Amino acid sequence: MAEFSKDAEKLLELIGGKENVVSFTHCATRMRFVLADEKKADVKKIEELPSVKGSFTQGGQFQVIIGNKVSVFFDEFSRISRMDGVDKQEVKAAAKGKMNLLQRGVANLAEIFAPIIPAIIVGGLILGFRNIIGDIKLLEDGTKSITEVYQIWAGIYNFLWLIGEAIFVFLPVGITWSVCKKMNVDQMLGIVLGITLVSPQLMSASDYIAAVEAGEAVKTWDFGAFHINMVGYQSQVIPAILVGLVFAVFYRFLKKRVPEMISMIVVPFCSLVPAVLLAHTVIGPFGRMIGDGLASIIMAGFSSSFSWLFSGIYGLLYPLLVITGLHHSMLPIDLQTVAVMGGIYTFPVVALSNIAQASAVMAFVFLHKKDARVKEVGIPSFVSGFLGVTEPAMFGVNLKYLYPFIGAMLASGVMGIISRVFGVIANSVGVGGIPAFLSMRGDKMLLYIVCIVIDIVLAFLFTVLLSKTKLKDYGNK
């Protein structure tokens, strides 16, 4: 721990002292502080500390990038400050007091999806791998896929769909569970609620539409005076969020008012049954309408005659969404788009934006290759950026010196245009770095790899060119 003693002590002083710290914790690479007055933090001197690789403020938290040894730094900071760090959820709760209504909404949405993201990434990789072995004609002069030639790969292809189906078709189960976890209500009931949205008893939306178009009978629950269509919400995101929230409201309302002796019986029953009924009569159809509408708006932009321009603007501005945290609000829309349209144009652009941020740092390191401090901060940043984790690159280097950030924005804007002209489309959301090519449609993977190469070159060149302008002095002010 001694290696961080001086820096931890100095950091405490530079953030305004013990009295300015409301709470603090750490994540994989960063110290996270909620400060009573963020203006008291001397950002310039903090970033000059040997252990610090950058800093930024987001979501009401002042975050200091330390790196992989952040847990060691955290322990030393706790010892020196004689303060106890708290759980990340407590820090987030404290930070929300400093947010406006929009920021709180986005933060809550991010917390709902955070536990689900690893599963979504795994699912995207599985779909990509299945594309390679099952959809691309790689063998026998380009006439057959690997699964058509080798039975073992056909077995693997079919087996992997067991996982893919669990992740994407039954996604509402994970969402309702996460909503209940976030709202601090019974999580098992959240799982049950999610299952009622995707039960095998229910027709899928596509089967329902096909049945209606063919004039066939639609499965219903017959209540005598009225009927309810037995249609599920497989892969649907917005309906699952809304149903989960309504259930949580019912549960919390009843929990406060029902006597303890009958609470275990009354609260679960009287919150779950009405929530499920509303899910299949009002909330579900309304949520599907909202989700389909949002997905259609995005797809309309990417499918219009000006789709290349729309995609370019999206690529150019996406880094600004990341800075403000608004990129979290795009995930449910992206997943809804996948459910409705069977693919997504936004994720290829997002991944290229992340790669551009990493490439800009690589260029910055190249320009300052004699500076040991730059290499210490920059090399881990662009490596992690290429693997999809861009915060160290974006906040540790690019925003600090500005011209690498602008270079990355320009590159991702250009690549948004090129990727759309190439017609690149992803199966789903995946790893937002170089491995993103595995999430693309099989016939677009090679084109996307070409896009990645061009993206790296462009971001590198733009950054080098901008370093020769007046912008090069920004980070020295």
What ranges in 325-371 are assigned the alpha helix state H? 330-341, 346-367
3-class SS of residue 431: coil
Greatest Cα pair distance in the chain:
81
Which amino acid belongs to residue 459?
A
Give the separation between CA 195 and CA 288, rounded to whole angstroms.
17
208, two tokens: 């329902």
Tell me the pairing of strands 30-35 and 21-26: antiparallel
Residue 27 designated active-site: yes
Nearest residue to 51 (alpha-carbon basis) of 1, 17, 110: 1
DSSP structural state of residue 443: G
- The dihedrals phi and psi of 446, each to the nearest 5 degrees, come to -65, -40
Annotated catalytic residue: which of 27, 180, 270, 451?
27
Which residues are 21's β-sheet partners? 35
Give the separation between CA 257 and CA 102, rounded to whole angstroms.
31
Nearest residue to 397 (alpha-carbon basis) of 434, 356, 357, 353: 357
Non-local CB neighbours of 241 within 8 Å, separated by 6+ positions? 112, 175, 179, 287, 332
Non-local CB neighbours of 256 within 8 Å, separated by 6+ positions? none
Which residue bears the tokens 């245009």? Answer: 417
Q: What's the burial of 462, exposed, middle or buried (CB within 10 Å: 0-12/13-18/19+)? A: buried
Query: Using only C-alpha atoms, what is the Rg of the chain?
Result: 25
Give the separation between CA 72 and CA 474, rounded to whole angstroms.
33
The count of other CB atoms within 10 Å of the CB of residue 110 is 17
Active-site residue numbers?
A: 27
